[in-house]
Amino acid sequence: MNDLQQLSESHGMLLVFLNVLLEQLGLPIPAWPTLIVAGALAMQNPPLLGASVVLAMLACVIADLAWYFAGQRYGGALLRTICKISLSQDTCVRQGLNLYGRIGPRALLVSKFLPGAGALVTTVAGISGTPLPVFFRYSLAGSFIWAGSALLIGQLFADALTAVLDLLARYALLAGIGIAAALALFIAWKYFKRVQLLRRTARVPRISVDELRALQDGENTLPVILDVRPSFNGGVQGIPGAINVSLEDPLDDLVLRLGDADIVIYCACPHELSAALLAEKLGKHGVTRIQALTGGLDAWRLANEWLPEEDAQF
């Protein structure tokens, strides 16, 4: 414990700042454990508590502003980049947009507690044109809530944490191996679940943009097109005539409206996963003539020479 106290006095504040900054910029380096430890160590050195709060908030706001301005400049292309590093690409963007669509800038108060949502929500704030003063206020408040809660937990459980830290200090190698093994198992499990999902949804029939156009130009009944993007989509126009449907909503009324028409579902997500998931849900309700649009909205926009692909948003 003495070694940890000396470390906190000499390099602890720099460690807190860098850890929080790197995590908020998107690196998989959890900062909450560091803040909890800082809170526990502050019991022995009270000035560390105030310094930890200020530095953690400063790091959060710096990262938030970076994502905010990047969202303004790069839009949906940045969202796709953020979610490419996620092991849950299909839900990454949808969850972030749904959260911001429901509560607006107030999402910044809770987004840092949701894995992977911090950078996503701040980027969406930039894309949606949230005024900078409003964004800054909510970013500051959310940073204080997030960092302060971790430091408070460290204060409340300082005695227990001290014993754990002493134990880790004695068995540092074994602790490091255990943490690395747990992280590797978690990543492997998430990857396995994702591969399973991709294999399952790959069985949903696909339709190309050209084939959809042929259906629309044909003499038979027009296909019903379902838009499974989040209701908040940055104002990006979807396919004309499409019906917006949420994966989370009950489908009984929708099934009655669909009848026996041909159904084409599209999204703006990797591997048409959201569209395929909705197709699966409709299939369980007895709807059979369903296809997911290959390439989703991006493919439609590109084929119809709408906005450049890099400007497409989710």
Domain boundary at 170, 196, 230, which?
170
Strands (E), 242-293: 243-244, 263-266, 290-293
61, part of any domain: yes
Q: Does the pLDDT value for residue 73 go beyond 70?
A: yes
CATH number of residue 300's parent domain: 3.40.250.10
Q: Do 28 and 80 belong to one domain?
A: yes
Q: Does the pLDDT value for residue 232 go beyond 80?
A: no
Q: Does the pLDDT value for residue 89 go beyond 60?
A: no
Cα four-point dihedral sign 271, 288, 260, 252 = negative
68, part of any domain: yes
Range of the domain at 279: 206-311
Give the lowest-confidence range in 55-69, 97-111, 167-181. 167-181
Q: Does the pLDDT value for residue 185 go beyond 80?
A: yes
Q: Do 161 and 210 belong to one domain?
A: no
Rounded mean pLDDT of 17-45?
85
Q: Do 146 and 213 belong to one domain?
A: no
Q: Do 56 and 145 belong to one domain?
A: yes
Q: Do 155 and 213 belong to one domain?
A: no
What local confidence, expressed as pLDDT, does residue 10 receive?
A: 52
- Of residues 131, 135, 127, 118, the one with CA closest to residue 60: 118
Rounded mean pLDDT of 61-73?
92
Q: In the chain, what percentage of residues exceed pLDDT 90?
A: 22
Q: Both tokens of residue 237?
A: 């126009």
Q: Do 226 and 294 belong to one domain?
A: yes
* pLDDT confidence band for 219 (50 / 70 / 90): confident
Q: Do 227 and 114 belong to one domain?
A: no
Q: Does the pLDDT value for residue 85 go beyond 70?
A: no
198, part of any domain: no
Amino acid identity of 87? L
Q: Do 131 and 270 belong to one domain?
A: no
Q: Which helix (H) or strand (E) holds 237?
A: none
* pLDDT confidence band for 172 (50 / 70 / 90): low
111, part of any domain: yes
Domain count, the chain: 2
Q: Do 23 and 144 belong to one domain?
A: yes
Which of 61-65, 210-214, 273-277: highest mean pLDDT?
Answer: 61-65
Q: Does the pLDDT value for residue 307 go beyond 50?
A: no
Rounded mean pLDDT of 246-251?
82
What local confidence, expressed as pLDDT, does residue 54 receive?
A: 94
Domain boundary at 114, 142, 170, which?
170
54, part of any domain: yes
Q: Do 102 and 247 belong to one domain?
A: no
Q: Where is pLDDT greater, at 218 or 106?
A: 106
Domain boundary at 144, 170, 196, which?
170
Q: Do 215 and 145 belong to one domain?
A: no
State the Cα–Cα distance between residues 88 and 177, nearest whole angstrom.
26
177, part of any domain: no
191, part of any domain: no
Digit-coded pLDDT (tens) for 283-306: 888 888 899 999 888 888 888 765
Digit-coded pLDDT (tens) for 123-135: 888 888 899 999 9
What local confidence, expressed as pLDDT, does residue 311 receive?
A: 45
Q: Do 251 and 134 belong to one domain?
A: no
State the Cα–Cα distance between residues 296 and 302, nearest whole angstrom.
10
* pLDDT confidence band for 108 (50 / 70 / 90): very high
* pLDDT confidence band for 235 (50 / 70 / 90): low
99, part of any domain: yes
Q: How far is CA 53 from each of CA 20, 75, 144, 145, rounded to the nearest angstrom?
A: 11, 31, 7, 10
